[in-house]
Amino acid sequence: MRILVTNDDGIFADGLWKLVRELKKIGPVVVVAPDREQSAVGTAVTLRQPLRVRKLNGMLPGVETYSVEGTPSDSVILALSKLAKNGIDLVVSGINSGPNLGDDVFISGTVGAALQGHFHGLPALAISIDAAADSPHLEGAAKIAALLAKRIDEGSLPRDVFLNVNVPGLPLEEIKGVSVTRLANQTHGNTVAARERHNGRQPYYWLVRRRLPQETDTKTDIGAIEQGNISITPLQTNLLSRPSTAITHSLCSDLLRELREEKNS
């Protein structure tokens, strides 16, 4: 199985290379990743600027490596359409430093890259660790990714989902179990910190995201991680495709008629 590895922490992140070392035991690995930190860029693609790509030699023997002056999604698109000449069977994104839980999946570049693989019809997984970039537990998380990759190779992943995996920042012997979870709701509060500037200049702002108080539902991704479990959340792209008669009626009926009346008034 030919594996594309990418991330959003940038091509020199330790988490990415720990992942590559484990995955190359299963099959040939191509690394295509942003040339800099791209966390929280979500699914962004670059359409109004050229994309510069550099081939990096000697990162890891036998691993073709490209850095992209763009987003994680850009990296996956370039890899699948231009750079990975022999084709790709699986897209793996990570290991992100810091968890991607609940609402995070909508802004996470790590998950965004896996989503792009899924859009291309490939099995894909994002993996994050609830720990800092220099965590001693990255190797354990990388081994988990490799085990999952093997099972995906054996056909264990349905075509209509991709995976968001979160690993507690614990030694493997302290991890309690593996839970298949759903996303927690409303996981963050956003606050804005204003910084005054002197000399009459404009103030500037920092967005600060804070995890909301403890999740009690152990069936969610956050609940699983808080209990010391590995969380595997299957994600789908049909976010809300069920037609709802209530919505159709209260939101949409007579909309066109009213629009025409507006126009004529």
Residues that bind Mn ion (CB under 5 A): 8-9, 39, 96
Looking at the Cβ atoms of 39 and 71, the one nearer to Mn ion is 39
Looking at the Cβ atoms of 9 and 130, the one nearer to Mn ion is 9
CB of 165: closest distance to Mn ion in angstroms?
Answer: 14
Q: Residue 189 is which amino acid?
A: G
Looking at the Cβ atoms of 129 and 232, the one nearer to Mn ion is 129
Residue at shortest CB range from Mn ion? 39
CB of 145: closest distance to Mn ion in angstroms?
Answer: 15
Looking at the Cβ atoms of 157 and 233, the one nearer to Mn ion is 233
CB of 110: closest distance to Mn ion in angstroms?
Answer: 6
Strand order in the sheet with 64-68: 53-56, 64-68, 29-34, 3-6, 90-97, 124-130, 162-168, 229-235, 177-180
Looking at the Cβ atoms of 133 and 175, the one nearer to Mn ion is 133
Give the per-residue SS3 of the chain: CCEEEECCCCCCCHHHHHHHHHHCCCCCEEEEEECCCCCCCCCCCCCCCCCCEEEECCCCCCCEEEEECCCHHHHHHHHHHHHCCCCCCEEEEEEEECCCCHHHHHCCHHHHHHHHHHHCCCCEEEEEEECCCCCCCHHHHHHHHHHHHHHHHCCCCCCCCEEEEEEECCCHHHCCEEEECECCCCCEEEEEEEECCCCCCCCEEEEEEEECCCCCCCCEHHHHHHCCEEEEEEECCCCCCCCCHHHHHHHHCCHHHHHHHHHHC
CB of 238: closest distance to Mn ion in angstroms?
Answer: 26
CB of 96: closest distance to Mn ion in angstroms?
Answer: 4
CB of 113: closest distance to Mn ion in angstroms?
Answer: 10
CB of 8: closest distance to Mn ion in angstroms?
Answer: 4
Whose CA is closest to 163, among 138, 183, 177? 183
Looking at the Cβ atoms of 6 and 157, the one nearer to Mn ion is 6
Looking at the Cβ atoms of 9 and 64, the one nearer to Mn ion is 9
